[in-house]
Chain A
Amino acid sequence: MDWFNGEVAGIILFFIGVYGLCARRNIIKTIISLSILQAAIILYIISDDAYSSQVPPIISTSAHPIQMADPIPQALMITAIVIGISITAVALTLFVSMYHHYGTTNWNKALSKRRDAD
């Protein structure tokens, strides 16, 4: 089972999110799949060779500098998480105001109502 490391899990999770986008008609489920995509990307990059004995990248004056985890992806993923929050917040606000106008949470019904509108 050594081939199943964090990266494979990340790619599988990514395609689960893509399935959610392709197959689900509910708009809230689309927003959920968007955050699944974000989670998959974060899992992919953070899961360095994590099973090795890595220490969080804090310079401790204690023992010799044992192998520290790579700080760059952690810094990048702080940004990616905050972007994930703002995407979900904006998408949910859009969904709420769309629901008030269209009255449906289904993409296809919304499209047909949009066509009658103009």
Chain B
Amino acid sequence: MQELINRAKSLLESGEVSRVLGWRKGETDWDVEPAFFNSAEELSEFIYNGFCGANLSKYMIEASKLEGKTLVFLKPCDTYSFNQLCKEHRVDREKAYIIGVGCKGKLKIENIDAAGILEVRGAGYPDASEILTVKTLYGDREVSYKSAMLERCHVCKGKEHMVYDERMGESADTSDADRFAEVAKIEAMSPEEKFAFFQSELSKCIRCNACRNVCPACSCRKCVFDSTKFDSAQKANTTSFEEKMFHIIRAFHVAGRCTDCGECSRVCPQGIPLHLFNRKFIKDINALYGDYQAGADTDSKGPLTDFRLDDCEPSIVTKRG
């Protein structure tokens, strides 16, 4: 971590960058917030540990409007989002100095699932310790690092950064699950089971918009669900229809653009597995139109702004059973 701070300081001092976008430490190990640092002094609060799950790419939209370059730390999976935003002209590559920072899997405090946590030891150095030591008001306990990881890290896209100016730190591919297994499991259900499953998940939705607002693909200046232009403004899920409407349309709007960064599922206060929507589209796109990874590059045509003459017909949905 100190190397990251030192490098950031030297880039700030040399004037190559005007500010640093990273993570700031808070009250506890897991209390980590995305933050801009404008000086070497401020960087004393910089932190990089296992709880730095937040994808900083989206903050680069605002940073691109500022004078000078912004040094941004991107984990391998964050770089896909950055590329996608570049492709859509939402961030300016020239305004970013990207340090591709190593990542060995990020943690979710809810997964540690212990009341009264005071401290989590081992979160900073996943390599050194495969076991997290958790100190709580009600006694200490141990949790394996893997079991505390974010869902997305179990289906890690790999340790390569898609875009960077320099790289620091080691990465590890933490995938240990089939990315589409959950989707396939639902697909195999009967319509009644599918309906019941999503009904119970979506009925929890409080329409806080955290999934939307954190999503790098949901970068609209004004979302259709906030806009009166489309007759679609909604502030609450008054009926179960509105829960579905919001999540279907949100997933559709990011279809072919979603990099599967998993931020939506990370931030949902109700723990709704929102990635199941996006990943369904990704699975369909891969199966029907050929493998596609949004954000792997900045110039390919997205699957929904492209076509083949011999694309399958929509009736494939019925024929698939």
Same assembly: no
